A and B are shown apart, each in its own frame.
Chain A
Amino acid sequence: MNTKHIDARRLLCPMPVIRTQDAVADMQPGEQLVITCTDPGALKDIPAWCRINGHRVVETRQEGDDIIITVEVGA
């Protein structure tokens, strides 16, 4: 299965959400997107964006200052 990565570090919300949205637009259901960002606002915004658009947050973790969110593209 394809996994795509995007680097949204140093971007402030809503830019990480916009990057996520644009990346997901080119992906197929079931594929995973890994977003690396630093704005803690993304911890709320990306899951909210996923909920309203039918995608699923698979995992959220923190590595130092980096926040890493994995999203599975919905149907």
Chain B
Amino acid sequence: MSTQRKAVALISGGLDSMLAARVIMDQGIHVEGINFFTGFCVEGHTHAIRKKDRAKPKRNNALWVAEQLGIKLHIIDVIEEYKDVLINPKHGYGQNMNPCLDCKCFMVHKAVEWIRAHDFDFIITGEVMGQRPMSQRRDTMPVVARESGADDLLLRPLCAKHLPPTLPEREGWVDREKLLDFHGRNRKPQMALARQLGIEDYAQPAGGCCFLTDRAYSDKLVDLWQARGEREYQLDDIMLLKVGRHIRPNPRFKLIIGREEGENRFLEGYRKQYVSLCPTSHKGPLVLLDGWPEEADLELAARITARYSQGRDAEQVTVAVRQGDGEERELTVAPMPPGEIPADWHV
């Protein structure tokens, strides 16, 4: 009797990785999914924060795909290890702060560690040659295989016919003839294959699987590093980059201003770690100060906070300023007129 071969599939939640896993399952291979949480993944987050979205939480697409396929999914927390990938990418960044090539090498490398620990035979991904400008090019796909240490244990079922045969193909564990030759940005072949396999519902392909491909998010990350004078971050920092309006009057501090009730509630949870402001004479947002504000900065922060409160047209607004240790005092200030907040303060 032949041995049951086992593959782990990198599942992002999109259509491509779903198809790749399915194509290999259909060849009788036992497949389980793996999904990496870097802290920047689009799945879930901001959705859970905004009040209007709390009522109908979005599904986690990776879990949903695994359920559709009927496979197990292992979600791995790589927040700490990922810092080095983002801070020092050997191959640089894409259009924004997305280090896609290093990221792919890292994830496939983690998958190599995983198959060794769990006695699996090979790794599959939903990569399609020529689909992504950085990590899925003819010249970079071998880089991923080599630098991740996966070498010929890395099989990309959707474009395998454009690549040299991998070990699973050479050994006959999978039939190369039944693999695909997708190429380029045209997504029609994927959609046709989905139809053929009876897959009707799937997440629409987006620009990228993480916030690092987003321009506004990347700008906030760069601003944070510049202000701190070092390229470092904690999970709280990168979560807060997804929330609120960010205004930086000077390198010492920035304001993170809740834009609605859900964001205010989310920011509440950080009041022990940050100086926070909240109008008391009028309804208004909760504001966190990130950095090291000086005494004079507090008044400026209070005036900006007042500007975003319902007292924006009042002559004076009273704002409570609370330190992380709970010490609180009130400042009564004139709201800053909108025209006086320079455009370049908005991060």
Which A residues are within 8 Å of any B CB, using their own CB? 10, 12-15, 17-18, 21, 39-41, 43-45, 48-49, 51-53
A43–B47 CA distance with the chains assembled, in angstroms:
13
A41 to B269, Cβ gap below 8 A?
no
Within 8 A of A (CB), among B1-51: 35, 37, 41, 43-45, 47-49
Contact of A13 among B48, B72, B74, B77 (CB under 8 A): B48
A14–B44 CA distance with the chains assembled, in angstroms:
7
Residues of B contacting A18 in the complex (Cβ-Cβ under 8 angstroms): 37, 75-77
Chain A residue nearest to B59 in the complex (CB): A44
Q: Chain B binding site: helix, strand, loop or mixed by DSSP?
A: mixed
Question: If the complex has contacts A13-B60, A40-B54, are A48 and B67 also in contact, measured as CB distance less than 8 A?
Answer: yes
B298 within 8 A of A: no
Contact of B60 among A14, A21, A53 (CB under 8 A): A14
Q: Chain A binding site: helix, strand, loop or mixed by DSSP?
A: helix
4 closest pairs, A vs B, by CB?
A13-B44, A41-B57, A48-B63, A39-B48
B60 to A12, Cβ gap below 8 A?
no
Residues of B contacting A51 in the complex (Cβ-Cβ under 8 angstroms): 67
**Size range of the chain B interface in the assembly:** 20 to 34
Known pairs A18-B76, A45-B60, A51-B67 / 11 extra A-B pairs, C-beta < 8 Å = A12-B48, A12-B239, A13-B45, A14-B35, A14-B37, A40-B57, A41-B57, A41-B58, A48-B63, A52-B66, A52-B72
B64 within 8 A of A: yes
6 intermolecular pairs with C-beta atoms under 8 Å apart: A12-B239, A13-B44, A13-B60, A17-B63, A48-B63, A48-B64
Question: If the complex has contacts A12-B239, A52-B66, are A41 and B73 also in contact, measured as CB distance less than 8 A?
Answer: no
Chain A residue nearest to B44 in the complex (CB): A13
Closest CB in chain A relative to B35 CB, distance in Å: 8
Chain A residue nearest to B35 in the complex (CB): A14
Chain B residue nearest to A25 in the complex (CB): B74
